């Protein structure tokens, strides 16, 4: 997309993300307050633990749309074209996982698979499992694939920096957490304790998340030399989304040890900010492109082809 009018309509995309995030967080916090005030008698589960809430799915859909808009600004052969392609695939996986998991992978009344005399519970379970794989390990693998050309491009333009030993502490801690989870699950399996398929899918994504943590450290160190512009902020949002994903895994593991029956709203409160952080990556990039187009309109000699400089 190279026309200024196209950018004018979505120049405030970051504000959209923050407004949607803030509104939904307020609603879920209010529901938790009502649930706690009612003595935890009123059920506000809304969804099963293995599916995303509607607000998370809508946010993922918004992120996918923003990615599709951004990728049109990066012609074939651009240094970051492959990165945005992978990020778009990851956003599509998250959106598809939310849609199929929420609408066809749950036992709610509007699921057409439950309308027959004999509900197709087997097919519903398979759809739920497929959605978990697409939104979990598969999406993380695609994100790791997106980070590789990004880091290579930064190194090519001499933005790479070597992290020190202290900066590797956070990835190391998460790797220890991953090892502990694997040992815990393996001990339970050897002790004849049943291990749910959903837990196995979640565990499969933890090693990939460890790799993303290490890539995030390299990204943050490289971005420290890029300043504080909108482009750098967009990639910082990606790093924050990765860190928040790891923190969310730890929180979701800790909560059941202190809260035997947490409501599904807790999961939404954790996943919604993470999805919003991923949506901010293309949103901030669009804002940067709009600023570049305004600069091109004022100084045409700086942008003769009409394509944003960051895309070239």
In order of 61, 210, 269, the CA distances from 68 in angstroms are 11, 28, 26
212: alpha, beta or left? (left if phi > 0; alpha if psi -120 to 50): alpha
Which pLDDT does position 109 carry in this prediction? 64
**Residue 247 in domain:** no
Which pLDDT does position 67 carry in this prediction? 94
Nearest to 210 by CA among 160, 282, 267, 137: 137
Q: How many domains does the chain have?
A: 1
pTM greater than the 0.85 cutoff: no
**Residue 214 in domain:** no
- What range does the domain containing 132 cover? 7-41+48-160+228-241+261-302
Residue 193 parent element (H or E):
none
For the purposes of burial, counting CB atoms within 10 Å of the CB of 102, is it exposed (0-12), middle (13-18) or buried (19 or more)? Answer: buried
Which pLDDT does position 51 carry in this prediction? 41
**Residue 255 in domain:** no
Give the CA count within 13 Å in the CB-facing half-sphere of 271: 22
Express each pLDDT in 63-101 by its tens digit: 999 999 999 888 888 888 999 999 999 999 999 998 887
Q: What's the first-to-final CA gap in the chain, in angstroms?
A: 13
**Residue 59 in domain:** yes
**Residue 34 in domain:** yes
**Residue 122 in domain:** yes
**Residue 183 in domain:** no
In order of 117, 175, 267, 282, the CA distances from 256 in angstroms are 36, 21, 11, 34
Residue 223 parent element (H or E):
helix 197-223
**Residue 307 in domain:** no
List the chain residues with pLDDT less than 50: 1-7, 41-52, 303-312
């Amino acid at each position: 997309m190279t026309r200024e009018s196209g950018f004018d309509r979505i120049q405030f995309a970051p504000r959209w993300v923050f407004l949607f995030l803030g509104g939904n967080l307020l609603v879920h916090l209010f529901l938790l307050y009502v649930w706690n005030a009612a003595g935890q008698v009123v059920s506000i589960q809304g969804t099963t633990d293995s599916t995303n809430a509607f607000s998370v799915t809508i946010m993922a859909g918004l992120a996918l749309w923003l990615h599709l808009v951004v990728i049109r600004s990066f012609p074939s052969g651009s240094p970051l074209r492959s990165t945005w392609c992978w990020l778009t695939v990851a956003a599509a996986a998250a959106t598809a996982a939310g849609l199929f998991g929420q609408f066809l992978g749950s036992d709610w009344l509007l699921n057409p698979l439950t309308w027959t005399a004999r509900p197709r519970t087997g097919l519903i379970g398979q759809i739920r499992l497929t959605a978990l794989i697409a939104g979990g390990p598969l999406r993380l693998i695609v994100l790791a694939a997106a980070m590789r050309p990004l880091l290579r491009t930064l190194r090519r333009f001499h933005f790479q920096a070597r992290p020190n030993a202290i900066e590797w502490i956070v990835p190391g801690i998460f790797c220890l957490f991953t090892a502990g989870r694997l040992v815990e699950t393996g001990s339970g399996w050897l002790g004849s304790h049943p291990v749910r398929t959903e837990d196995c899918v979640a565990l499969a994504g933890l090693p990939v998340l460890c790799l993303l943590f290490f890539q995030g450290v390299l990204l943050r160190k490289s971005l420290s030399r890029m300043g504080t512009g909108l482009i750098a902020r967009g990639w910082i949002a990606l790093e924050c989304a990765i860190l928040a994903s790891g923190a969310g895994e730890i929180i979701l593991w800790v909560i059941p040890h202190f809260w035997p029956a947490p409501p599904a709203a807790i999961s939404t409160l954790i996943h919604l900010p993470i999805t919003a952080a991923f949506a901010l990556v293309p949103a901030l990039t669009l804002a940067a492109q709009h600023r570049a187009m305004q600069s091109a309109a004022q100084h045409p000699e700086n942008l003769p082809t009409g394509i944003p400089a960051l895309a070239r």
